[in-house]
Amino acid sequence: MNLTIENILLVGSLLLFISIVVGKTSYKFGVPTLILFLTIGMLAGSDGIGGIRFSDSKMAQFIGIVSLNFILFSGGLDTNWKAVKPILKEGLVLSTIGVLLTAVSLGTFVWFVTDFTIFESMLLGSIVSSTDAAAVFSILRSKNLALKNNLRPTLELESGSNDPMAYVLTLTFLTLVTSQDESIWKIIIMFLQQMIFGGVAGFAFGKLSKIIINKIKLGFEGLYPVLVIALMFITFSATDLFGGNGFLAIYICSVYLGNQDLIHKSTILKMFDGIAWLMQIVLFLTLGLLVFPSQIIPYMGIGLLISVFLILVARPISVFLSLMFFKMKLRRRFYISWVGLRGAVPIVFATYPLLAGIDKANIIFNIVFFISVTSILIQGTTLSIIAKWLNVALPEEVKPIAENDRYILNLPKSEMEEITIAPGSFAVEKRIIDLHFPRSAFIVMIKRNKKFVRPGGSTVIEANDTLVLLLDNEASLNEVHTILDQTPIA
């Protein structure tokens, strides 16, 4: 079947529907949904029963980049800075030095066991050097796996922030494969430019985005998530335009925004969570359609050998060497080593050699695809089991609720209070978002002129309003009173 304008929506919606329905029951059998999405894509492809002909690597790469934008941004929004801050150094070391060590050690192994040149070997190692954010976020959250001692924030920070390093390494060795006389200094400058400018741009766009979201008046709550999508793509594309790493920029931007007070934040978080799932399904379906299973079979042997080396040798070496200067129990290091999931990101990166037209591009793509599938099957299905074996999992009854989850769910608080706003109060003529109430205090209703007003971030407080608050404790109430009792600015 050829995809046309007339049938692409029908085919796409049917594949999406099948993926959701099948994925709903997948975990009863211990199979990660991501593998099912890939499988459905392959079954619908040229070698499958669907017979859909799709071999457009450029389109697949475009879909991959757009999808990764949403997946990384959603993951960043859900990242709790308070949980990440204590393990920030470990996460950043894993996402930079750890990725480099994985690429070099695996590339060296590939060089010894194949007929690849050293640069081609390092290119393959670079493509699969990062843990996949889509796989880690999806599997950890769908399994509702709670881990001890900040392990989960460490894993999510690493997976969310290490794609830029793998991307830069992929571009570097792809450049060396296509032009071996390239100046090493030029490559070093490109690397520094990508990482430094990407980081600075991400933080700058984060601060700018917060101002825009909270200051602009759109009139409709549903437009605010659309505004954030526009800001996300501006952050990525503008950073990339000026030579920075767009993936790093959007992740830093989203982490910043996720830990700020934003108008209609709950709506924004819920919308991005849904779109992130949609993008994961679309991405894995697309990559499943792109691959030809019959072309992978000849490389299954070497692919399995490389995959086993990556899982059992290269990844553990990179983790243990990266974390050698940090105080951390051995079982935590082993578990971090095991959660080195490869997924859609390496497959997307593997389209770059295809588009560059290098000799072994198809071989690299098929090996990378096989590595990603085996990684999700072997590691993704055993995360809970290994966590219990290593005693790093929390029991069900003591699983903590993430701060952002509390914000979304609006869980019942322990106290309810009514506060009437005096005419001279600091809050008069202020929007709720500008009051900066503690996250442990929610305004659930406003009584105004014998009527009830449903509050939102952009709701302006008026004199004599009565605020109905839900709070965690008396300390939260005292903090609210401290804010309201400030001297108004003339």
Query: Could you read off the pLDDT of 123-179 as tens digits, one per residue?
Result: 999 999 988 776 776 676 666 666 777 788 888 788 878 888 888 899 889 988 887
Residue whose C-alpha is closest to residue 194's, from 231, 237, 246: 246
The stretch 401-410 carries a mean pLDDT of 44
Specify the pTM. Answer: 0.77
Among the residue ranges 78-92, 202-216, 242-256, the one predicted with the least confidence is: 78-92
Q: What is the pLDDT of residue 291?
A: 82
Token couple for 188: 């070093």
Residue position matching structure tokens 């900040």: 150
Residue 424 neighbours by CB distance under 10 Å: 9
Say if CB 322 and CB 94 are below 8 A apart. yes
Return d(Cα 370, Cα 365) in angstroms, integer. Answer: 9
Check: CB of residue 249 under 8 Å from CB of residue 235. Answer: yes
Q: With CA atoms as reference, report the closest residue to 171 among 248, 245, 277.
A: 245
Q: What is residue 406's predicted lDDT score, i.e. its pLDDT?
A: 42
pLDDT tens for 381-402 read: 788 888 888 888 766 544 444 4
> Would you state the pLDDT for residue 111?
95
Q: Where are the domains of the chain?
A: 8-398, 412-484
Measuring CA to CA, which residue among 194, 204, 267, 260 is closest to residue 235? 204
Is pLDDT above 70 for 6? no
- At 18, the pLDDT band (50, 70, 90 cuts) reads confident
Highest-pLDDT range among 316-325, 449-458, 480-489: 316-325
Identity of the residue numbered 247: F
Report which of residues 253 and 57 the model is more confident about: 253
* Domain covering 412-484, topology: Alpha-Beta Plaits (3.30.70)
Using alpha carbons, list the distances in angstroms from residue 288 to 36, 45, 304, 395. 10, 7, 19, 36
Res. 431: pLDDT tops 90: no
pLDDT surpasses 80 at 45? no
Mean pLDDT of 458-484: 80
Mean pLDDT for 322-340 is 89
What is the distance between the alpha carbons of residues 159 and 228, in angstroms, rounded to a whole number? 22
> What is the C-alpha to C-alpha distance for residues 370 and 140, in angstroms, rounded to an integer?
22
CA 344/CA 181 separation, integer angstroms: 31
Give residue for tokens 């900066």: 436
Torsion angles phi and psi, residue 107, rounded to 5: -60, -40
What confidence score (pLDDT) does residue 488 get?
A: 53
Written as six digits, the tokens of 39 are 């499988």
d(CA 328, CA 317): 15
What are the pLDDT digits (tens) for 197-233?
999 999 999 999 999 998 888 878 889 899 999 999 9
Residue 487's pLDDT band (boundaries 50, 70, 90)? low
Q: Which two tokens stand for residue 61?
A: 């790469």
pLDDT reading at 282 higher than 70: yes
Residue 58: other Cβ atoms inside 10 A: 10
**Residues facing residue 358 across a β-bridge:** none
Domain 8-398 has CATH 1.20.1530.20: yes
